[in-house]
Chains A and B, each alone.
Chain A
Amino acid sequence: MERERFLARVAAGLGRERRREAERPDWRGQPHQRLYADESAEALGDLFEEQCRFMKTEVKRTSRAELAEVLESTAAEYGGGPVVVSDDERYEAYGLGGFLQREGVSVWDDAKGRGMIELAERAKVGVSFADLALAESGTVVVFSRPGNGRTLHMLPENYIAIIPKGRLVPRFSQASRYIQENFIRKNGVPSCVKFISGPSNSADIELKSVVGVHGPVRAAFLLVEDA
């Protein structure tokens, strides 16, 4: 059905003329704005860790100095390689340049086309930086962009996210405000915003929780305390 006819039918159902504007109610003072809003960075870190455990994500709290070692050992625990990492200049800044040079590690390259997806599909580990992290739900938020493919976080058997602690916010509310301020008021939202809270899981068989249904079987979030 043509759009205007469809919408006119809706308006008629509501018993009024077609509406060309709407005033959103004021949500000030609503609970989503208060929840964890005043927690210290320290408390948010603890909350994040506790919630990740609940969601079966491994959390490793580390520092810039130790990050390379922690990433190495976590990748080794997860089968070593192949590893696919996002294309991100922060690896250098976080002292992970050496890791990128390691054998079996590939940096995401969209120019490889379908081959890139096949590489990710065979990978034991996918690694990316978190653009934001949510303490309440133990969540990593990633915004799509070239070099940070959507499937990088989903196809490899295991997933590792590096979270600079400054990126840890209380909850979804701060993420939506971030999106509001950095994307909606500027160039528009990324085509894919992912909120990832642990390994892929299901309870569809007798409500027994299992991991690794379609996406990562295991997930580790590395929280870099001094970043």
Chain B
Amino acid sequence: MPMKIEGGPFKARVEEALHNDFMRGAVRRAQDGLRGRKLAATNEDRDFEDWEAWRQAGEAVRRHTIENLDYYLEQLSENVEARGGHVFFAATAEEATAYIRQVVKAKDAKRIIKSKSMVTEEISLNAALEADGCEVVETDLGEYILQLDDHEPPSHLVAPAVHKNQAQIRELYAKKIGYTATEKPEEITAHTRKVLRETFLHADIGITGCNFAVAETGTVTLLTNEGNADLATSLPKTQISVMGMERLVPTWEDLDILVSLLSRSAVGQRLATYVTALTPGREEGSVDGPEDFHLVIVDAGRSKALGTEFQDVLHCIRCGACINVCPVYRHIGGHAYGSIYQGPIGAVLSPILGDSDAFKTLPFASSLCGACTEACPVGIPLHEQLVAHRRAIVEDHGEAPWFEKLAMRGFGAAAAKPERFARAGGTVRLAKPLARAWTAEREFPAPARTTFRKWFEERKGAGR
């Protein structure tokens, strides 16, 4: 199953996470840092004036694009092809990897460099290419660290190795690539630069994701702070960019709005350090840039959301802002979710994209505090979509514990008849079957001697 990461069931992962004090401390610090940076660049940036207006503009672009998705995908593919690029439409993960493997084979390519891409994680591309005997190297610093650690899965959308500390990274480098310097991030980074520079210079193919494709020009836009996407698309002779079918905008003007929102929301910058817009057909006589350009447009479950109450989740621009404010993620970290997508967006997206039953627990892993919805730069009502998942799981699939169903049926019957509801002692008494899970960790208050209801009636009877 692509998307899924190794490990036990959700409850066991949570148990493990809650006992990992180091990870929890790291995640808390990361959240506080990233949340603070985002706020400084959005609500608190006085020049930026009206954050709400920006969000609405972002949502409008995304909504318009998805509502006309077939039109813009056609326009995008025609423009890519008109410039000499190749476009492949992949309905499934298997189709996508099969096409890419075939391109790699046709080029007789062995050395592949990648810049960070979630959709290639979704389709398990690295494993497929490695099985074909290719060397696949991730070049985003965080991703590179994880790859060295026997392909550990990412734990955060934009800060994939956030759960590791510098001492652990130093040790990993020493073990895997003979690193001898200190654990200072500067020295680890300098070493990474040296190692990866060589890899860049000799790679046959560069594989990237796609932050936003621009339909009107057939352009793939990539945002990084490290510049790895730039090198990955300048040095190798072949570029393969893989995009989720929803990751496009109609025009460069729309690109402006979304690049502004993504940079500010993901890392608290007005613009990512490197925003690179790539269109096939390098200029005649140029020495760098790819000679061959492939764009792979991937569905892999996305169309299941179209026309449903989950359609808005396709508006997501993968900024991770919801993850950085999620109090559940804060305490259990990314790996507990068991999916390559974590936090609120992961809990909404994973059950749609992945068919695994394991993902059906995720929508319940939320207190529905709404922090995610408030943080989303394109206005996806994430907490409402979590409730919608719960409803589908309970009502459409009938998957709920029997005692809960019984309790809820009792609640419905009582709540429909006010006299019965009052006699039964209201929701609090109806919830009694759940009391044990409550008192395992908390005291439960003793109900008062008289209910408010009774007090009010008596008071009124006494002439007030």
Contacts and interface: CB of A to CB of B under 8 A. Distances in A.
Nearest to B234: A150
Nearest to A199: B273
- Which of the four size classes fits the interface of chain B? 35 or more
Contact of B303 (A13, A34, A215): A13
Given A6-B91, A14-B67, A117-B288, A137 B235 contact: no
A25 B104 CA distance: 41
B289 A110 contact: no
Given A1-B90, A149-B234, A207-B162, 9 more contacts: A10-B69, A20-B71, A24-B251, A30-B57, A32-B253, A205-B169, A205-B188, A207-B34, A210-B189
Contact of B279 (A112, A191, A205, A214): A191
Nearest to B274: A196
B97 to A, nearest CB: 14
Contacts of A34: 49
B21 to A, nearest CB: 16
Interface stretch (B6-14, B134-142, B340-348, B381-389): B134-142
A139 B288 CA distance: 22
Contacts of A73: none
A90 interface: no
A200 B87 contact: no
A196 B190 contact: no
Interface in A109-129: 110-114, 116-117, 121
B214 to A, nearest CB: 9
Interface string A141-184: 00011100111011100000000000000001101110110001
19 contacts: A1-B90, A6-B297, A10-B303, A13-B303, A22-B71, A30-B53, A35-B49, A154-B227, A155-B231, A189-B217, A191-B280, A192-B277, A197-B272, A199-B273, A205-B189, A210-B189, A213-B192, A215-B231, A216-B227
A17 to B, nearest CB: 9
Report, nearest first, the 8 A-B pairs whose CB atoms are least far apart.
A13-B306, A215-B227, A204-B142, A137-B271, A195-B275, A22-B68, A176-B252, A6-B89
A216 B166 CA distance: 23
A200 B166 contact: no
Interface string B236-269: 0000000001000011111111011001000101
A31 interface: yes
A214 B226 contact: yes
A19 interface: yes
Contacts of A177: 253
B70 A114 contact: no
A26 B335 CA distance: 42
Interface stretch (B193-201, B363-371, B411-419, B439-447): B193-201
A34 B69 CA distance: 28
A194 B303 CA distance: 32
A202 B288 contact: no
B289 A19 contact: no
A195 B54 contact: no
Q: Which among A30, A149, A191 has the highest number of chain B CB atoms within 10 Å?
A: A191
Interface residues of A, number: 85
B36 to A, nearest CB: 11
Contacts of A45: none
Contacts of B254: 27
A15 interface: yes
Contact of B287 (A30, A110, A215): A110
Given A137-B271, A194-B230, A213-B192, A204 B141 contact: yes
Nearest to A204: B142
B185 interface: yes
A208 B250 CA distance: 36
B285 A146 contact: yes
B29 interface: yes
Contacts of A19: 68, 70-71
Given A176-B253, A200-B227, A191 B284 contact: no
Given A191-B282, A206-B26, A184 B217 contact: yes
B271 A195 contact: yes
B299 A201 contact: no
A10 B70 contact: yes
A201 B190 CA distance: 11
Interface string A1-41: 11100111111011100111110110100111011100000
B255 A1 contact: no
Contacts of B234: 149-151, 154, 192
Nearest to A195: B275
A38 to B, nearest CB: 12
A1 B99 CA distance: 10
Interface in B173-224: 185-186, 188-190, 192-193, 196-197, 200-201, 216-217, 219
Contacts of A144: 282-283, 286, 289
A15 B307 contact: yes
A203 B234 CA distance: 24
A49 interface: no
Contacts of A191: 83, 278-283, 286, 289
A76 interface: no
A188 interface: yes
Contacts of A196: 273-274
Contacts of B54: 31-32
A190 interface: yes
Contact of B306 (A10, A31, A173, A205): A10
Q: Which among A8, A15, A203 has the highest number of chain B CB atoms within 10 Å?
A: A203
Given A55-B273, A184-B217, A149 B287 contact: yes
Contacts of B48: 31, 35
A176 B417 CA distance: 61
Contacts of B216: 184
Contact of B270 (A116, A136, A153): A136
A10 B192 contact: no
Contact of B274 (A155, A184, A189, A215): A215
Interface in B82-129: 83, 87, 89-91, 95
Contact of B286 (A3, A149, A153): A149
